[in-house]
């Protein structure tokens, strides 16, 4: 089978699609893939690192009025034309799109030429998904909360997880429990130099980072380190400054206390899987991945929605917090409430256990395999038009 894959703009649109590609290739190693993305987004580097063919086309959101809107429309039309040329040459059996403005040209270019499956990672549709849903054959959504957006088209599949994370959580690439799951927690504690019996808190703001989260953590480190050890992924933008400030803060601390902080600017998939396996509690933004990765590990969460991401992150946080799996903490209250909230959860074993059970009940480790099966099913139906 041959598939066009499109996801980009941020890692949140790329990694779910990569998980589906892994599942397609597991099903059939001869599967052919062409990824169509933007010229300047992060997707090219991520996709090419996986040795997948990548085609860049222009495009972007239709914004502004007058000349700006006209310019955006021209870019979109030009990108759709270029994507159409790729599709006519490649002759895909189906197209998978995860939303985001870079997916508009290839999805439009696929219309009428092959079935279109949209995977919506977030719990609420973006503007691009709302636009493209009209021409989609099916829409794979992460949870039941999203079904009402696309009556008759939406199918609940869960959030697709990459194989490295699945294995770390004790599942095979199809999401089935392993007969002999690895002792990933012990591996993780060795990898990061963690104290075996001490509570571990993972704090992450994504690949680029979350400055307000980093600032709040640094402010509260003296209160937290006597009670737990911390794995902190600062994001690439703040990593140098975080290193400098942590080093200054560590000088007056006892060495054994300072050694409980473990920082990194960024962790790739294998190390991120270990960090998730090591943690007893995670503090994070509320991007789409929290809907899949934290349930997979049954990891209680304190979620801090990015305040400038419209409603998407708040809605994602609500999906988990309303089920008792997470606590939602507003960004504006981080400075004063981060440490008290962390310490309260760590000190209450019963609450943490309830949160873990609630989180694990939402896990769908077979999500990538289910989306791959949908694509294969759509591909084999003859005479289908979108």
Domains 2-161+366-380 and 177-360 share a fold: yes
Q: What is the mean pLDDT of residues 235-241?
A: 84
Tens-place pLDDT, residues 41-100: 888 888 988 999 999 998 766 555 455 556 667 878 888 999 999 999 999 999 999 988
Q: Could you give the CA distance from residue 330 to residue 183 in angstroms, rounded to a whole number? A: 35
Q: Answer yes or no: are the C-beta atoms of 60 and 72 closer than 8 Å.
A: yes
The pLDDT assigned to 148 comes to 94
Confidence label for 385 from pLDDT (cuts 50, 70 and 90) = very low
Q: Could you give the CA distance from residue 213 to residue 323 in angstroms, rounded to a whole number? A: 24
- Angstrom CA distances, 262 to 154, 198, 201, 343, stand at 42, 13, 10, 18
Q: Does domain 177-360 have CATH number 3.30.565.10?
A: no
**DSSP-assigned letters across all residues of 82-147:** HHHHHHHHH--SEEEE--SGGGHHHHHHHTTTS-EEEEE-SSS--HHHHHHGGG-SEEEESSGGGG
Q: What is the mean pLDDT of residues 215-238?
A: 92
The pLDDT assigned to 382 comes to 47
Q: Could you give the CA distance from residue 317 to residue 282 in angstroms, rounded to a whole number? A: 13
Confidence label for 386 from pLDDT (cuts 50, 70 and 90) = very low
Look at the block and give the residue holding tokens 């209450």: 348
Domain ranges of the chain: 2-161+366-380, 177-360
Tens-place pLDDT, residues 134-150: 999 999 999 999 999 99
Q: Could you give the CA distance from residue 341 to residue 303 in angstroms, rounded to a whole number? A: 11
Provide the mean pLDDT of the chain: 91
Nearest-5° angle of CA 18, CA 77, CA 86? 45
Q: What is the mean pLDDT of residues 286-302?
A: 96
The pLDDT assigned to 68 comes to 58
The proportion of the chain whose per-residue pLDDT surpasses 70, expressed as a percent, equals 94
Q: Could you give the CA distance from residue 8 to residue 100 in angstroms, rounded to a whole number? A: 6
The pLDDT assigned to 311 comes to 82
The pLDDT assigned to 62 comes to 58
Confidence label for 384 from pLDDT (cuts 50, 70 and 90) = very low
Q: What is the mean pLDDT of residues 281-298?
A: 96
Q: Could you give the CA distance from residue 171 to residue 162 in angstroms, rounded to a whole number? A: 11
Fold (topology level) of 2-161+366-380: Rossmann fold (3.40.50)
Tens-place pLDDT, residues 183-202: 999 999 999 999 999 999 99
Look at the block and give the residue holding tokens 């030429």: 113
Residue 278 pLDDT > 90, yes or no?
Answer: yes
Tens-place pLDDT, residues 258-274: 999 999 998 888 899 99
């Amino acid at each position: 089978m041959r598939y066009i894959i499109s996801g980009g703009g941020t890692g949140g649109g790329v990694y779910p699609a990569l998980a589906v590609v892994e599942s397609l290739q597991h099903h059939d190693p001869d599967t052919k893939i062409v990824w169509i993305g933007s010229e300047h987004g992060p997707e090219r580097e991520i996709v090419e690192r996986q040795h997948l063919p990548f085609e860049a086309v222009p495009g972007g959101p239709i914004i502004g009025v007058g000349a700006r809107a006209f310019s955006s429309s021209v870019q979109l039309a030009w990108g759709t034309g270029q994507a159409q040329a790729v599709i006519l040459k490649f002759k895909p059996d189906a197209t998978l799109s995860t939303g985001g403005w870079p997916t508009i040209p290839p999805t439009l270019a696929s219309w009428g030429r092959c079935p279109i499956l949209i995977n919506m990672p977030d719990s609420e549709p973006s503007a691009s998904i709302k636009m493209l849903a009209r021409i989609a054959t099916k829409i794979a959504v992460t949870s039941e909360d999203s079904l009402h957006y696309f009556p008759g088209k939406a199918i609940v599949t869960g959030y697709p997880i990459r194989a490295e994370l699945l294995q770390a959580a004790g599942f095979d690439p199809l999401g089935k429990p392993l007969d002999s799951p690895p002792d990933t927690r012990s591996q993780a504690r060795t990898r990061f130099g963690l104290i075996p019996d001490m509570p571990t808190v993972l704090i992450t703001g994504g690949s680029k980072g979350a400055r307000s989260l980093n600032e709040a953590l640094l402010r509260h480190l003296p209160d937290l380190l006597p009670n737990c050890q911390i794995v902190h992924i600062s994001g690439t933008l703040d990593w140098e400054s975080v290193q400098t400030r942590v080093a200054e803060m560590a000088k007056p601390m006892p060495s054994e206390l300072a050694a409980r902080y473990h920082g990194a600017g960024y962790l790739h998939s294998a190390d991120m899987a270990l960090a998730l396996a090591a943690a007893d509690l995670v503090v994070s933004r509320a991007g789409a991945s929290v809907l899949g990765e934290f349930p997979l590990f049954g990891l209680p969460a304190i979620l801090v929605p990015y305040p400038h991401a419209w409603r998407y992150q708040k809605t994602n946080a609500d999906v988990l917090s309303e089920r008792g799996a997470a606590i939602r903490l507003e960004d504006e209250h981080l400075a004063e409430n981060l440490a008290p909230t962390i310490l309260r959860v760590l000190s209450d074993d019963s609450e943490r256990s309830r949160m873990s059970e609630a989180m694990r009940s939402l896990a769908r480790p077979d999500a990538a395999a289910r989306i791959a099966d949908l694509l294969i099913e759509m591909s084999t139906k003859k005479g289908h038009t979108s």
